[in-house]
Chains A and B, each alone.
Chain A
Amino acid sequence: MSTSPSDPATGVAALYFDGRSARAHAVTLNVSDGVLHVESDDVSRCEPLGALRVSEPMGDAARLISFADGAHLEVRDHAALAHLLAATGHRDAAVVRWAFEPRMVVIMLSALLLSVWLIMQYGLPWAARATAPLVPDSAMTALSERTLEWLDQALTRPTTLPSARQQALRQTLSSVASIEGQPIPHTLLFRSGGQLGANAFALPDGTLIVTDELVALAGADAPVLAVLTHELGHVHERHGVRMLLQGSATALFMAWYLGDVSSLLAGAPAALVQAGYSRDMEREADDFAVKLLRARGQSAELLAGMLEKLAAAHGEGQASRSGPMGWLSSHPDTAERIARLRDKDFIIH
């Protein structure tokens, strides 16, 4: 640009601006005894290095050396300036140097991907577990009501189960639904599952929905109860709210990360995350169910057997095709869970 290449003998070429006018003065810079000398026909200034601030390097962009009084120097001869700075012992902040070193950029990129994975895997579930108890009951009720409305409208039909059978199941569930002497608030609803088939869900406010098909598949009351205790586990551990919190946090992060690209893309990962409970949550719910069953002197086999029947009913292969909220799409790794429930050493944590 307007500065000529520096001559090492005469110093570094730069432009000097006094901070009061936009006029540029072509000057040369020299350092001696910790003092910067700025020289030209009409400018002569000496400043101790300690009173100066050097801007961060930004690739080819000019570097600025600022004086305390608002004046500054604009230097484009990077090689000569680097030489001068090295002589003064100046060192740029590590963070800025990294940004321009390919090796550090690769390391940073890997660190970034690793930390995103760690956060998704451990950080978010932990934060969701910590904050879930803070979600007010009114919010959970509102959320559950909306979900139930949507279910009734889109997927399920009114139940055809005799009311005596409904009443019997409700009563048995009430007698089981307590932990450490504290009853677990819940409401048991029956629906004809339609395309959902044999299925059961838990909504965050304690509403449990079981389909007629599941009751028929179970044959007796005890296996139905086993499934319901598992669903109570989801309620008690607030799994629904935790998934929602994790999904919202992911959506928020994606919206920030993608910025102005499109909020359309931001919705997708959230939807994926919300598609089902995590494997850990299923284990928690299984543990909870077994605890309740054993308290009544029943075995984990009830739940294991029921899981097997459900898996068979939905067909393992086309598991995820059994509807948007199908048992298997929201309950992954069924085989592994069955094996775990049947393990002789099954211990509740």
Chain B
Amino acid sequence: MDNPFEHATADAAGGNPFAAVAPALQREPITFSGRGGEYFGIWIVNLALTLLTLGIYSAWAKVRRLQYFYRHTTLGGSAFDYHGDPRAILKGRVIGFMLLLAYNVSFQFSIIAGIVVAVALAAVMPVLLMRSLRFRARYSSWRGLRFGFDGGTGGAYSVFLKWPIFSVLTLYLLGPMWHQRMKAYQFNHARFGSAHFTIDAPVGAYYRIYGAAIAVVLLGMATIGALLAALADGSPAVFGLAPLLFILLLLFVQPYLSARLQNLVWNHMQLGSHRFESAVSARRLYLIMLTNLIGVVVTLGLFLPFATIRLARYRLQSVTMLCAGPLDDFIAGQAQDAAATGEEAADLFDVDIAL
């Protein structure tokens, strides 16, 4: 049996005099043992109970879903764990739902009321997002040590309010820079136990990835336009296909973006002096996402849990930790509490800040 702790004792014993001079990086792959058939059961029970309780059970469902994924993800032979309290998550969902309702209803009354609510939401969202990062980190653990997030309010307003406005005002020319700042905020303030994460992905790399994606989209749009113009030949009805083709084009580009961005982030991340390596292939991800989409459509959604597992397995198992020292050396940081409100509101507003 392979013992992930073996190298640790060997290092600690100091048997090799060169070990201290040039510590060989020990490769620790992340493994994922979730299975579609198994997750299907959890998914269907969650769905049924959520529906029967008019959504109230969804908080418990979320905890169970996350626990399934965390506990099937292992590093160095030990599983991750999620400890979120469903009652706190339910409270967060209620608050999120009310904010969403206020936002939708206010415009019915008057434009002024709508603007007031929108401005208030813009003022509150960064704090909610910050708290969501804190909550998710606080209630995630590995080998009994908690993750943590210490990002402040100022940083949250910068990356969740100032930079989005900048990038919209510049017609998204600053979009990649916003993404870089967001990842920096997310990871430079993250901890595992007392060890700190750092990320040094250069902004140029974000521009290269987004630049390539946009080039493909523009090229695709030109091709679609030319193709439709040739096909139309007097019957403009053919142009009705344009939105569908455009969506197919975006579905084509999305795996590339998500593969390259995951690799960029993880390959430039450090935890203490440990590094990571992510080797997601855009082509493999594209095949997985395409077959997932076909499966979900053909089965009217019943394939969804299998699709989720397939995607998670590939993305997680593409990551390897390059350990500069024994994993046993991590120690706990100071404990702190976080309310669930932020994360749930962020979920409801569909602001994806994951990975």
- A residues contacting B by CB (< 8 A) are 1-2, 4, 15, 17-24, 55-56, 58-62, 64, 70-72, 74, 95-96, 98-102, 104-105, 108-109, 111-112, 115-116, 119, 136, 138-139, 257-259, 261-262, 264-265
- B142, A22: Cβ atoms closer than 8 Å: yes
List the 8 shortest-distance A-B pairs measured between CB atoms, nearest first.
A17-B144, A22-B330, A99-B41, A61-B71, A23-B328, A22-B143, A112-B48, A59-B38
Total interface residues on B, using CB and 8 Å? Answer: 50
User: What is the minimal beta-carbon distance from B262 to any residue of chain A, in angstroms?
Assistant: 16
Taking CB atoms and an 8 Å cut-off, the chain B residues in 30-55 that contact chain A are: 33-35, 38, 40-42, 44-45, 47-49, 51-52
A24, A64, A111, A119: which contacts B5 (Cβ < 8 A)? Answer: A24
- A100, B328: Cβ atoms closer than 8 Å: no
B297: Cβ under 8 A from any A Cβ: yes
User: What is the minimal beta-carbon distance from B341 to any residue of chain A, in angstroms?
Assistant: 20
- B327, A22: Cβ atoms closer than 8 Å: yes
- A58, B71: Cβ atoms closer than 8 Å: yes
A257 vs B332: C-alpha distance when bound (angstroms): 39
Which residues of B lie under 8 Å from residue A15 when comparing CB positions?
Answer: 78
**CB closest chain-B residue, reference A136:** B108
A60 vs B35: C-alpha distance when bound (angstroms): 9
A59 vs B72: C-alpha distance when bound (angstroms): 9
User: What is the minimal beta-carbon distance from B78 to any residue of chain A, in angstroms?
Assistant: 6
Which residues of B lie under 8 Å from residue A72 when comparing CB positions?
Answer: 144
A2, A17, A108: which contacts B3 (Cβ < 8 A)? Answer: A2
- B4, A2: Cβ atoms closer than 8 Å: yes
- Among the interface residues A24, A115, A264, A265, which one has the most CB atoms of the partner chain B within 10 A? A24
- Among the interface residues A4, A62, A99, which one has the most CB atoms of the partner chain B within 10 A? A99
- A56, B144: Cβ atoms closer than 8 Å: no
Sample of 9 further A-B pairs with CB below 8 A, known A95-B49, A115-B48: A1-B1, A15-B78, A17-B144, A21-B331, A21-B332, A58-B72, A108-B44, A112-B47, A264-B247
**CB closest chain-B residue, reference A19:** B144
B41, B72, B144, B328: which contacts A71 (Cβ < 8 A)? Answer: B144
Which residues of B lie under 8 Å from residue A56 when comparing CB positions?
Answer: 64, 67
A61 vs B44: C-alpha distance when bound (angstroms): 19
B277: Cβ under 8 A from any A Cβ: no
**CB closest chain-A residue, reference B81:** A64
B211: Cβ under 8 A from any A Cβ: no
* Given contacts A59-B38, A112-B44, A2 and B144 within 8 Å (CB-CB): no
A138 vs B42: C-alpha distance when bound (angstroms): 45
A56 vs B1: C-alpha distance when bound (angstroms): 26
A348 vs B122: C-alpha distance when bound (angstroms): 53
A172 vs B77: C-alpha distance when bound (angstroms): 84
**26 sampled A-B residue pairs with Cβ under 8 A:** A2-B5, A4-B1, A17-B143, A21-B329, A21-B330, A22-B327, A22-B331, A24-B143, A56-B67, A60-B33, A61-B68, A62-B71, A95-B45, A98-B45, A99-B44, A99-B45, A108-B45, A112-B44, A115-B48, A115-B51, A257-B47, A259-B304, A262-B247, A262-B251, A262-B293, A264-B244
B209: Cβ under 8 A from any A Cβ: no
A64 vs B144: C-alpha distance when bound (angstroms): 10
User: What is the minimal beta-carbon distance from B102 to any residue of chain A, in angstroms?
Assistant: 15
A95 vs B77: C-alpha distance when bound (angstroms): 28
- B328, A21: Cβ atoms closer than 8 Å: yes
- A70, B144: Cβ atoms closer than 8 Å: yes
- A111, B328: Cβ atoms closer than 8 Å: no
Q: Mark B234-271, 1 if CB is under 8 A from A, else 0.
A: 00000000001001000100000000000000000000
A2 vs B67: C-alpha distance when bound (angstroms): 22
Q: Mark B266-284, 1 if CB is under 8 A from A, else 0.
A: 0000000000000000000
Which residues of A lie under 8 Å from residue B224 when comparing CB positions?
Answer: none
A72 vs B4: C-alpha distance when bound (angstroms): 19
* Given contacts A96-B64, A100-B41, A119 and B1 within 8 Å (CB-CB): no
**CB closest chain-B residue, reference A101:** B41
